[in-house]
Amino acid sequence: MIYALFLIWVAASSSSAQQFYDPSDCSSDTSNQGSRYSCDSAQQPCRTFLVYRANQHFGHQNLLNISALFQVESDELLDLNNIASPLETLKRGREVLVPINCSCSGEYFQASLSYIVSERTSFPEIACGVFEGLLKSLTLLQENPSQGTDVETGVKLDVPLRCACPGGFARFNGVKYLVTYPILEGDGITPLSMKFSIAPEDLLAANHLEPKSTVYPNTTVLVPLKSDPVINLNVPDSPPPTPGFLPTITVEKTKNTKLRKLYIAGSVVGFFLIVVALLACGFYVKAVKKWKGERLQSFTDRNSVLSCSTARSSPRSGQTGRSSTNSCLSPDLLAGIKFSLYKYGIEDIKRATNDFNEDTNKIGEQVYKGLIDNESVMIKQMRCEDTRQVIDMHSKINHVNIVSLHGVCYGENDLAWSYLIFELPTNGCLRNCLSNQANRLSWRRRTQIAFDVATILNYLHYCIFPSYAHMSVNSRNIYVTSKWRAKLAKIGSTLAVSGSTMNDKVVTVNGLVAPQNPMNEAASVKVDVFAFGVVLLELISGKEAAQGTFLKDSIRFLGGGANEEGCFEQLRSFIDPSLKNEYLIAEALCLAVLAKACIEDDPLRRPSMDDILKVLGRMV
């Protein structure tokens, strides 16, 4: 009797309107008492919390994605959950506290969100999958009556999440928050109360439950707290409930001769196919080696291959050979690249560039375009010592997203200068592609280019030794192929660093200031991350990053409005108008938030290229 009175008193303390636990599954199409938490119309709205679990299947494995789903600032989640970076990949099932605004709408409390469907799905999939049972699918259907059973891509849904505000005796008793907690299989009252450091009786009373009541998966409970929420992640989940007695059926073991013969036949055929594949691979490798040998021989006949003993002469200039000791390239380096890098004569370079015509062939500082053997090339004049550094770097890397180095040419009279010959991708640099209104760059191509650039930067930062920071990433050093894939130029060039000015606090890349700690290897790669964020802003807006207010204006546009609609409107006004409406607003928002994280003032708060690659990988 005394315990029953105690439960009644505590229940009254939890809320001015009693909240009943709903044992029905979130996908249930029946409405029960407790399916939504009731309220009095006079109750004031409150700031409270819910718990969400990191979910890789639906793309919510980091705080950046979770904050976008619940439309809150990622920085707020960082501090609340003691996590270092919004792009840190969380362990599957890691519980995350999310702040929400809860208010009384009609007869029920709810936290009102909106959700834009990214692919065709159903209401139960959204309610029980994406939002992990924080609302019932029936509630979602009632809130969006115009939608059918299946929800199409691009549809915007109103999502009323379960929540409750303490009132009446609850506030008098010191209850500050009622946290919405989704139940998984194996969860129990005792471990749940231990996670939040509260008494089990308080948890039972807040949900109108008796001591021996069972809580079921895909439902929610309210956790009454008298202070700011903190989850004790060291408390293990309850073990799954022991299954009841299940009658067993004796199965007679029989021999299936037909099935056994089928297995044997399949094994024989599979083995035969493997042998055939191995033989085919052997013949292919042999043929490729033969073809390469013939090709290299023809190249050797046409041009002198770079080697320590080769005279540096041009067959067309009539110059006599010079001693190889004048070369700025070491014998070890030449030995490693002698079968892949070829020497051109100065006459070849003049012919390709129309004698270095600045009106028709110059495309950059000391950079010319030309045609050699019917192939478009980019010819860059460099000092001999810089040439060696570039060749050395290209001899160590092999990546499809790097502009390839074809050959070298030495100056006609001045041995201090030389020319490097690179491939020239068909569509030119990214800046020109973004400025070309006649053939605009589609959204899908832009996300692919962002992914390609992230791929090569991740390769340079983490896949070679020692790691390499580019230090000059911008839209004019990114080139686009005929298939609209990105390639990065200026690899190994000291000019990549000379385009940046460094001191102990800031690094200036192409006129934009990247705040920085004292420079070291780790800090250098963060400069690349900052520059990549600027490239993302250019891909979103179509505008060129330059000195002035570009970053300030971008941050202002990406700062968000007073509400979700205001945020989307500001983002739409920032997006390149040439795209019109041919883009996914969810992807644009994700890119914008990612760009904002990349240009953080504190380098330690910028994500790594590995984290960035994981985010972009879900878009392509």
| CA dist., res. 333 & res. 154, Å (int) | 55
- The yes-or-no verdict on residue 51 having pLDDT over 80 is yes
- The yes-or-no verdict on residue 458 having pLDDT over 50 is yes
Average pLDDT over residues 184-206: 89
With beta carbons less than 8 A apart as the criterion, state whether 443 and 539 touch.
no
* Tokens of residue 138, six digits: 């029936």
- Over residues 393-445, the pLDDT tens digits come to 888 888 999 999 999 998 766 667 899 999 999 999 999 999 998 888 999 99
pLDDT at 320: 33
Smallest Cα–Cα separation from 512: which of 468, 471, 466? 471
- The yes-or-no verdict on residue 42 having pLDDT over 90 is no
Of 148 and 368, more confident: 368
Give the percent of the chain with pLDDT over 90. Answer: 41
- The yes-or-no verdict on residue 85 having pLDDT over 70 is yes
Per the prediction, the chain carries an average pLDDT of 79
Whole-model pTM: value is: 0.49
- Over residues 507-564, the pLDDT tens digits come to 555 555 566 554 555 678 999 999 999 999 999 999 988 645 676 677 766 665 545 5
pLDDT at 152: 87
Any bridge partners for residue 161, and if so which? 111
Instruction: Kindly indicate the confidence band of residue 469, based on its pLDDT and cuts at 50, 70 and 90.
Output: very high
Instruction: Kindly indicate the confidence band of residue 118, based on its pLDDT and cuts at 50, 70 and 90.
Output: confident
- The yes-or-no verdict on residue 300 having pLDDT over 50 is no
pLDDT at 6: 39
Element (H, E) at 358: none
Lowest mean pLDDT among 45-49, 117-121, 162-166, 337-341: 337-341
| CA dist., res. 55 & res. 90, Å (int) | 9
pLDDT at 560: 54
Instruction: Kindly indicate the confidence band of residue 32, based on its pLDDT and cuts at 50, 70 and 90.
Output: low
Average pLDDT over residues 576-593: 90
Report all structural domains of the chain as residue ranges with CATH numbers, in order of start.
16-225 (no CATH), 342-423 (3.30.200.20), 428-495+504-617 (1.10.510.10)
Lowest mean pLDDT among 186-190, 359-363, 481-485: 186-190
| CA dist., res. 97 & res. 115, Å (int) | 19
Helices (H), 236-330: 257-302
Instruction: Kindly indicate the confidence band of residue 168, based on its pLDDT and cuts at 50, 70 and 90.
Output: low
Smallest Cα–Cα separation from 10: which of 200, 216, 179? 200
Residue listed under structure tokens 């640099």? 429
pLDDT at 3: 38
pLDDT at 24: 84
